[in-house]
Structure 1
């Protein structure tokens, strides 16, 4: 496969990972835990695909500069890093949403 196509695949998978992470956060805000978990699973799968492509590119480069560094390659790497950071932060935010929701449910049961 042509390098440009490989890089575009990296961008697509990284973008999908980020989008799924944000969908998970949106579902968590609504208290839809199964949907939040589903989107997180999808985010992890897309990130795994992107990371596999990145690993293949690194292997093909062999640390010898065999892969030309272009603006689109830098852009793809940026997308992947942002997607990974986004997923990590979203996982933590969803954890906090669950904790707050559980606390509210506990308090409302005690008040009844």
Structure 2
């Protein structure tokens, strides 16, 4: 495996993993009623996801130009993290909304 694809893979894993973790932290804060912190975590998660998306888009761009990366389990792992981060952020936003709705009805 060449060093470039390793570097790209680790960048994808890093930013996607950060986004995923922040999404889960947002859910935990929401569960405690800490709406402001939960929303801030979501925004930070989205920022990390944008960084991961730039890496992902770069891979797509290169492949579209005939520069397909060699198969790499590490890259596949990074893509998996990227997908999971997207899903967790979407679900975290829904869960935070549900918590807020329940909280407003209990007042």
Q: Same fold (TM over 0.5)?
A: yes
After superposition, give the CA deviation of every residue in 1:46-103 in whole Å (9 maximum; x if it has no partner). 0010011000011112264621121111111100000100111111010000000000
Q: Which position in structure 1 is the counterpart of 2:78? A: 76
Higher Cα Rg: structure 1 or 2? 1
Question: Mapping of 1:1-112 within 5 angstroms?
Answer: 2-62=4-64, 64=66, 66-105=68-107
Counterparts of 1:30 and 1:64, CA distance in 2 = 49
Gaps of 5+ in 2: none
Counterparts of 1:26 and 1:91, CA distance in 2 = 12
| Number of aligned residue pairs | 105
Name segments (4+ residues, structure 1) moved above 4 Å.
none
Moved more, 63-72 or 75-84: 63-72
Counterparts of 2:89 and 2:65, CA distance in 1 = 28
Q: What's the TM-score once normalised by structure 2's chain length?
A: 0.93
Higher relative contact order (CA 8 A, sep 6+): 2
1:2: how far off? 1.7
Q: What's the TM-score once normalised by structure 1's chain length?
A: 0.89
Counterparts of 1:14 and 1:74, CA distance in 2 = 13
